[in-house]
Chains A and B, each alone.
Chain A
Amino acid sequence: MTDTDVEYDESVDARGAACPGPLMDLIGKMRDVDSGTVVRLVSDNDRSLTDVPEWAAEAGNDLLAVEEGEDHNEFYVEKA
């Protein structure tokens, strides 16, 4: 398990989602939320470690934190 102090408003658990599942799941959630909302993505796909930061930068959203765990990682993204 991972612990973090980042507070979030919405969470997406994409564990088990096939590639490019986790990033698409995050994008789908970001579509629905208002600016300023912090979304947590839980992913067990290692590609998320590169996909998510790349997309966040491209879309101008803030990647607040990445918590790397043993069997999954958590990403905290704030919608611009």
Chain B
Amino acid sequence: MTEHIVVVGGGTGGTVLANDLADRLDAEIDAGDVRVSLINDDPDHVYKPVWLYVPFGQREPADGRRPLADLVDDRVDLRIDRVTEIDTDAKRLRLQGSPQSVGYDYLTLATGSTLAPEEIPGLAEGGHDFYSESGATALREELLSFTEGTLVLSVVGTPHMCPAAPLEFVFMADSWFRERGLREDVDIVYTYPIQRVHGNPHIAEWARPIMDERGIEVETFFNTEAVDPEARTITSMEGTELDYDLLVDIPPHSGVDLIEAAGLGDGWVDVDRHTLEAEAAEDVYALGDTADTGVPNAGSVAHYQAGVVGQRLASEVRGRPPTATYDGKTLCFVETGMDAASFVEFDYENPPSPAPPSEKLHWSKLAYNESYWLTARGLL
């Protein structure tokens, strides 16, 4: 009997996992004992970190796209379709483009995050974002013609992808306007929902003095309630109203609907944060943004978790007890301007301690982004 492993979502986590399984289980796949399928709703693989650079004219959206078929091992059955329903009792998936459902023996969900700007009145109309391809492109046009006034960066939704990105954006905007001789005419305001500038207290303590030094104004305890695109104001639940000329927001995020419908969690899959096994169903794993582990929604996390799930699945199909566990490892380069970056690394036990910003770390981040395509292919 052939054991069928299905991975849903061909983003960072799903692609690394499918390639990892093809490598680990090559003999079993060749012998017909195991089949690995990857289902993604887009023929392209999208690398989101590129979007941070698009508004500043440093990258093109196309730099973050490659055909998934070029990245995935030939031993993996790649299917371009959208999964619309999961039945964990019958172990079957429904697809949008096919009347035939797909059965699985083991399922991994790697469906990432989706944006939900509609949760906040006026946000979609009044705000810009760099969290989507179209958003980053539209923001580039706005930034190029923005020569004076108040730029507000508001972190509206948490948790959100890449917790460092809002800080990176204001640091980069500060440098970018300075380099162009416009900083005196541009006020930069940063808002955050809690009393610090970042969810992680260690990163917040590191970032705050840099923001003060650069004249980036900070509004903490700011939970956006509404945006008035006509009056160009943004209001918080705490009763603060800010004027803006250009609003850049980190929109609310949500998981995909089918997770809740399948009873696997409240939008995000409830998992054991070490084994990454779903709590509500047998033989189901989740990884990356979709898995509710409490660690940041980051590509590095999805990558490490894919290695863990790959090892566990390979053990399971071979009838051995799986031993690999995820220790919360997170790794992140943090841009602190247009030509300097910091670096953090942490896990469940050890808190982050940001490295002093340097040009070398900035180039390391850019080099990582370039070599990402090797990571996705499982070569790095």
Contact = CB atoms under 8 A, between A and B. Distances in A.
B201 A19 contact: yes
Contact of A31 (B194, B221, B223, B295): B223
Given A19-B201, A20-B199, A55-B221, A30 B237 contact: yes
A24 B193 contact: yes
Nearest to A18: B294
Contact of B193 (A18, A27, A47, A54): A27
B89 to A, nearest CB: 26
A7 interface: no
Nearest to B221: A58
A22 to B, nearest CB: 10
B294 A27 contact: no
Given A27-B237, A31-B223, A58-B238, A17 B194 contact: no
| Main secondary structure on A side of the interface with B | helix
A23 B194 CA distance: 8
Nearest to A14: B294
Task: Name which of B201, B223, B273 has the most chain A CB atoms within 10 A of its CB.
Answer: B223
B128 to A, nearest CB: 22
Contacts of B225: 31
A55 B195 contact: yes
Nearest to A54: B195
A20 B194 contact: yes
A59 B193 contact: no
Interface residues of A, number: 18
A24 B158 contact: yes
A18 B199 CA distance: 9
A48 B325 CA distance: 28
Interface string A5-40: 000000000001111110110010011000000000
A60 interface: yes
A21 B237 CA distance: 18
A24 B237 CA distance: 13
B221 A59 contact: yes
Contacts of A21: 294
B238 A60 contact: yes
A71 interface: no
Interface string B283-310: 0000000000011000000000000000
B368 to A, nearest CB: 24
A47 B351 CA distance: 15
A30 B221 CA distance: 14
B239 interface: yes
A7 B153 CA distance: 39
B198 to A, nearest CB: 9
B294 A55 contact: no
Contacts of A67: none
B134 interface: no
Interface in B228-244: 237-239
Nearest to B223: A27
A47 B194 CA distance: 12
Interface string B200-215: 1100000000000000
Nearest to B202: A19
A60 B158 CA distance: 21
A24 B194 contact: yes
Interface string A57-75: 0111000000000000000
Interface of B: 158-159, 193-196, 199-201, 221, 223, 225, 237-239, 273, 294-295
Given A24-B199, A58-B221, A59-B239, 17 more contacts: A17-B294, A19-B199, A19-B200, A20-B158, A20-B194, A20-B199, A24-B158, A24-B193, A27-B223, A27-B237, A30-B237, A51-B194, A51-B195, A55-B194, A55-B195, A55-B221, A59-B221
Interface of A: 16-21, 23-24, 27, 30-31, 47, 51, 54-55, 58-60
20 contacts: A16-B273, A16-B294, A18-B294, A18-B295, A19-B200, A19-B201, A20-B158, A20-B194, A20-B199, A21-B294, A24-B158, A27-B193, A31-B225, A58-B195, A58-B221, A58-B238, A59-B221, A59-B223, A59-B238, A60-B238
